[in-house]
Amino acid sequence: MNNAVNGAVIERAGNTDGEWVSQWLESLNAVLQSGSSTAIAALFAPDSHWRDLLAFTWTITPQRGADNIGVAIGQGQTSAKAHGFVIAARRTPPRRVRRLGVNVIEAIIAFETAVGRGSGVLRLLADQPTQAWVLLTALEELKGVEDKVDQRRPSGEAFSRNFGGDNWLDQRNKSQAYADRDPAVLVVGGGQAGLAIAARLGQLDVDTLVVEKNERIGDNWRNRYHSLSLHNEVYVNHLPYMPFPPTWPRYVPKDMLGIWFEAYALAMQINTWTSAEFAGGTYDETAGRWTAQVRKADGTLRTLHPRHIVFANGVSGIPRMPELPGLEHFAGEVLHSHGFNTGARWRGKKALVLGTGNSGHDVAQDLHSHGADTTIIQRGSSTVASIDPSAKLNYLLYDEGPPLEDCDLIATTATYPLRVLGYQLAVERMVELDKDLLAGLASRGFKLDIGEDKTGHQMKYLRRGGGYYLDAGCSGLIIKGEVGLLQFDQIERFVPEGALLKDGSIRPADLLVLGTGYHTQQVLVRRLLGDAIADKVGEIWGIAPNGEMANMWVQTPQPGLWFMAGSFPQSRIYSKYLALQIKAMEAGMLARQ
* Radius of gyration for the alpha carbons in the chain, expressed in angstroms and rounded: 26
As a 3-state breakdown, the chain gives helix, strand, coil percent values, each rounded to 5, of: 35, 25, 40
Whether the bond between 389 and the residue before it is cis, its omega within 30 degrees of 0, is yes
CB 569, CB 407: distance < 8 Å: no
What angle (nearest 5°) sits at the alpha carbon of residue 174, between those of residues 172 and 180? 140
List per-residue pLDDT tens for the chain, 593 residues long: 333 333 333 334 457 999 999 999 999 999 999 989 999 999 999 999 999 999 999 999 999 999 999 999 999 999 999 999 999 999 999 999 999 999 999 999 999 999 999 999 999 999 999 999 999 999 999 999 888 888 788 766 665 556 667 888 988 999 999 999 999 999 999 999 999 999 999 999 999 999 999 999 999 999 887 888 888 899 999 999 999 999 999 999 999 999 999 999 999 999 999 999 999 999 999 999 999 999 998 899 999 999 999 999 877 668 899 999 999 999 999 999 988 989 999 999 999 999 999 999 999 999 999 999 999 999 999 999 999 999 999 899 998 789 999 999 999 999 999 999 999 999 999 999 999 999 999 999 999 999 999 999 999 999 988 899 999 999 999 999 999 999 999 999 999 999 999 999 999 999 999 999 888 888 999 999 999 999 999 999 999 999 999 999 999 999 999 999 999 999 999 999 999 999 999 999 998 86
pLDDT at position 316 is 63
**Residue 129 neighbours by CB under 8 Å, 6+ apart:** 15, 20, 24, 105
Question: Does 3.50.50.60 match the CATH number of domain 150-317+519-586?
Answer: yes
> Measuring CA to CA, which residue among 3, 47, 472 is closest to residue 228?
472
Write out the H or E segment, with its range, that includes residue 176.
helix 168-177
* Architecture category of domain 327-514 in CATH: 3-Layer(bba) Sandwich (3.50)
Residue type, 473: G
Phi, psi (rounded to 5 degrees) for 524: -65, -45
Write out the H or E segment, with its range, that includes residue 33.
helix 17-34
pLDDT at position 232 is 87
**Residue 228 neighbours by CB under 8 Å, 6+ apart:** 221, 253, 254, 362
Q: DSSP per residue over 118-154, as a string? A: EEEEEEEETTEEEEEEEEEEEEEEETTS----GGGS-
Looking at CATH, the fold of the domain delimited by 2-142 is given as Nuclear Transport Factor 2; Chain: A, (3.10.450)
What residues does CATH 3.50.50.60 cover in the chain?
150-317+519-586, 327-514
Write out the H or E segment, with its range, that includes residue 519.
none
What residues does CATH 3.10.450.50 cover in the chain?
2-142
Q: What does the alpha-carbon distance between residue 592 and residue 291 come to, in Å, rounded to a whole number?
A: 18
**Residue 469 neighbours by CB under 8 Å, 6+ apart:** 356, 357, 358, 360, 361, 382, 383, 384, 385, 457, 475
Phi, psi (rounded to 5 degrees) for 355: 125, 135
Longest CA pairwise span in the chain (Å): 84
> Measuring CA to CA, which residue among 284, 304, 300, 302 is closest to residue 292?
304
For the CA atoms of 203, 209, 214, 219, the dihedral, rounded to the nearest 10 degrees, stands at 0
Q: DSSP per residue over 440-493, as a string? A: HHHHTT--B---TTS-HHHHHHHHHS-SEEEESSHHHHHHTTSSEEEEGGGEEE
pLDDT at position 160 is 58
pLDDT at position 6 is 33
> Measuring CA to CA, which residue among 306, 254, 262, 252 is closest to residue 281?
306
Phi, psi (rounded to 5 degrees) for 580: -65, -35
CB 266, CB 190: distance < 8 Å: no
Q: What does the alpha-carbon distance between residue 190 and residue 271 come to, in Å, rounded to a whole number?
A: 10
Residues 475, 477, 483, 489: is their CA dihedral positive or negative?
positive
What 3-state DSSP class applies to 236? Answer: helix
Q: How far is CA 254 from CA 221, 251, 425, 499, 570, in A?
A: 5, 10, 31, 33, 19
CA atoms within 13 A of residue 549's CA, in its CB half-sphere: 23
Q: How far is CA 180 from CA 176, 183, 292, in A?
A: 11, 10, 16
